[in-house]
A and B are shown apart, each in its own frame.
Chain A
């Protein structure tokens, strides 16, 4: 009996030791900063007085940081603009990307010679790091010195303003974002491979058309992945920042590419408390969107056993 208890305790200790790195990691690098940011969002913290002694350097101002976003003109203007930009991008880009990459995966899932090579090549553009991609696109889309406008002109099209005008910035940004289609395609392909061939066999024997197979077999069986990809895309798109900074150095012409994270980064030194409040707003928005997606996910098919 005692021997068993000792073994149990030993087992418990060993188990905890194995997962110790991640427990520490989560505590130090995720939970501690999140809690700290939450506390700071209620303080007015003057320029560069970063400290843990909030009482000494910061002033407790309650919900004022959150209120500022909606009431104080300059803050409201920035915040609403960032919401507008982020949501415009999300509403257009996410469905566009999901549908296009899914269609591409369907195409590449077919048994045609050389498909593996196509998959590999189509994934290649995803290897370009954000920094290089930003540099590259800002160069390619340069209205005067860029390759694309030159190409347009040589085939008789007018010059496109790309990122030099507010009205064309968002369409241009969505356009260049689509070049990462290969990454999403790979995720879909993995799911498509999990659809058992036998289901198609019997459907074919029953004389189901290709379209019916797609809508009644492939898509329903892929719904868990559709849900997963949607949620992951929302989380990622809401945090868009690096792509824009490396492209334009800021938030684009007339804040046309000023995302929510731009606000957080822009205020992080001078208005640390406000930046924390902004990041919590973003957290709430992401959490709400995720929740809504999950709650409305009755269409997801989790197999026979439920």
Chain B
């Protein structure tokens, strides 16, 4: 993209008076730096507060006046009886995250392949219905699903069913849409040729289609993991307070450290718990930055 732009832009037309251009650039940079300072301020405060000693946490400062750095909070949240469940929450969240990160891309790729490359009766009607469900606000189904989950015995389940099972069924309309958009760019001749060679649909899907779809699969996998990891509403709705075996990190942090807390520990513990929760997503983000920021997603919006 970058090279394309520089090739296309006629350099002479753009170069006005150099001084003006430089001045404008300096202004832009200054504005952006200021914006970054403001936007990253909360994150910065969070990290700073997490290493403050207990005695100084309520003084309204960011940095310890006595110069103490207290990494002990990070150890305490994993070990102390105050929040002995933290490790359990972490494991629960990881399990959910991993299942969704594998299940959602696979499931949505299957469906997208059906919608994109298979010919069958009613295909477009089904697709329209699936897209229409994007418009239904999730809050409508989240409450009645509670009743259904009660019936199924999924409430407070240590197997965490409500958090990962629905994702396996198609992985959501948005993901199917993105996947289908991507698959459309893969030529049909490839599939036809394989069919002439006697390959089955299943073979074509797994051996030809999936390898070609790796970029979009990665994108969907990463966003699915982050979505599941950060999801608050699902556990909040289907896991009752005190059922720690089914807590995810998001819910555990809310009940143990948040405004819903009955234990009310020092807020440096809360901040440390939050920082630990952000770390996996931050790692994923930096590893897959190109996909996430440059937006494989955006390219699908063309039509």
Contacts and interface: CB of A to CB of B under 8 A. Distances in A.
B143 A122 contact: no
Interface in B16-44: 25, 28-29, 31-32, 35-36, 39-40, 42-43
A246 B270 CA distance: 12
Counting chain B CB atoms within 10 Å of each CB, the highest count among A37, A107, A150 belongs to: A37
A28 B113 CA distance: 21
A257 to B, nearest CB: 12
B298 A190 contact: yes
B8 A201 contact: yes
A19 B258 contact: no
A246 B39 contact: no
A135 B253 contact: yes
Contacts of B115: 19
Contact of B139 (A22, A150, A187, A282): A282
The number of chain B residues touching the other chain, given as a range, is 35 or more
B244 to A, nearest CB: 16
A63 interface: no
Nearest to B33: A118
B99 interface: no
Most buried by A among B58, B140, B166: B140
Interface string A32-71: 1110110010000000001110000000000000000000
Contacts of A280: 140
B277 interface: yes
Interface string B118-146: 11110100100110010111111111111
Q: Is the interface of A mostly helix, strand, loop or mixed?
A: helix
Contacts of B287: none
Contact of A111 (B5, B129, B176, B295): B5
A35 B107 CA distance: 25
Contacts of A261: 139
B63 to A, nearest CB: 10
A204 B10 CA distance: 10
Contact of B277 (A108, A132, A150, A239): A132
B277 A40 contact: no
A140 B45 contact: yes
Interface string B287-298: 001001101011
Nearest to B29: A112
A136 B293 contact: no
Interface string A174-196: 00000101100011011101100
A52 B249 CA distance: 32
Given A15-B118, A135-B257, A129 B169 contact: no
Contacts of A264: 139, 143
Contact of B60 (A120, A121, A136, A147): A147
**Taking each of A33, A40, A104, A248, which has the highest tally of chain B beta carbons within 10 Å of its own beta carbon?**
A33
B79 interface: no
A179 B39 contact: yes
B301 interface: yes
B241 to A, nearest CB: 12
Contacts of A140: 42, 45
B215 interface: no
B13 A145 contact: no
Contacts of B270: 135, 139
A97 B109 CA distance: 33
A89 interface: no
A124 interface: yes
B230 interface: yes
A129 B229 contact: yes
B81 interface: no
B147 A193 contact: no
A122 B107 contact: no
A12 interface: yes
B61 A182 contact: no
B40 A135 contact: no
Given A124-B39, A130-B230, A265-B143, 10 more contacts: A23-B126, A51-B147, A107-B28, A116-B293, A131-B232, A133-B42, A135-B274, A197-B8, A249-B258, A283-B136
Interface of A: 11-12, 14-19, 21-26, 28-34, 36-37, 40, 50-52, 104, 107-108, 110-112, 116, 118-125, 127-140, 142, 144-147, 149-150, 179, 181-182, 186-187, 189-191, 193-194, 197-198, 201, 204-205, 224-225, 228, 235, 238-239, 241-242, 245-250, 261, 264-265, 268, 272, 275-276, 279-280, 282-283, 286-287, 290
Q: A-B pairs with the 7 shortest C-beta distances?
A: A190-B298, A25-B169, A22-B170, A249-B259, A18-B114, A15-B120, A129-B230
